[in-house]
């Protein structure tokens, strides 16, 4: 299945479930892209080569690593307060700012008004290794 036929299948599935796909807003497009990426990854058809995150700040890399570790362990994404605790800060607003900077940089997708709805779009390489492409 090619990426375009997969995207069409996902749009058709969403239409069958009653989700308006005629004029999707930005949030719907981000969600749809996330679904396509996830489906391609599951089929082994997508390999993302990512730099070592050289353009990211230390705190941004730290947040990405926390999310990757949770994802790899099969655990749900952390809440903002859990992220703040894991990063050693009491400021939830600081976490909010870091997350939204990562969205602007294309590393994360966040579903608005839903708790823990974070999707990793890119991954950092494993510590001390080459980009893992997952």
Residue (of 75, 89, 55, 61) closest to 118 by Cα position = 75
Residues 98 and 67 in one domain: yes
In a domain, 50, yes or no: no
Residues 73 and 116 in one domain: yes
CB atoms within 10 A of CB 62: 16
Q: Which domain holds residue 66?
A: 58-120
pTM metric for this prediction: 0.56
Residues 81-103: pLDDT tens digits?
Answer: 999 999 998 888 999 899 988 98
CATH of the domain at 76: 1.10.10.10
Report pLDDT for 60. 92
Residues whose CB falls within 8 Å of the CB of residue 30, separated by 6 or more in sequence, listed in order: 109
Alpha-carbon span 83 to 86, nearest angstrom: 5
Residues 58-74: pLDDT tens digits?
Answer: 899 999 999 999 988 98
Residues 4-50: pLDDT tens digits?
Answer: 666 677 777 777 777 666 666 666 667 777 777 777 767 666 555 44
């Amino acid at each position: 299945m090619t990426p375009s036929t997969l995207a069409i299948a996902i749009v058709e599935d969403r239409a069958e479930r009653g989700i308006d796909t005629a004029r999707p807003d930005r949030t719907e497009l981000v969600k749809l892209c996330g679904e396509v990426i996830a489906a391609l990854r599951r089929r082994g058809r997508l390999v993302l080569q990512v730099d070592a995150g050289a353009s990211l700040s230390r705190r941004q890399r730290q947040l990405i690593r926390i999310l990757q570790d949770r994802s790899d362990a099969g655990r749900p994404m952390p809440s903002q307060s859990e992220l703040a605790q894991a990063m050693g800060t009491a400021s939830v607003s600081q976490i909010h700012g870091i997350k939204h900077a990562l969205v602007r940089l294309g590393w994360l997708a966040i579903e608005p008004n839903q708790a823990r709805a974070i999707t990793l779009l890119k991954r950092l390489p494993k510590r001390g290794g080459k980009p893992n492409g997952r």
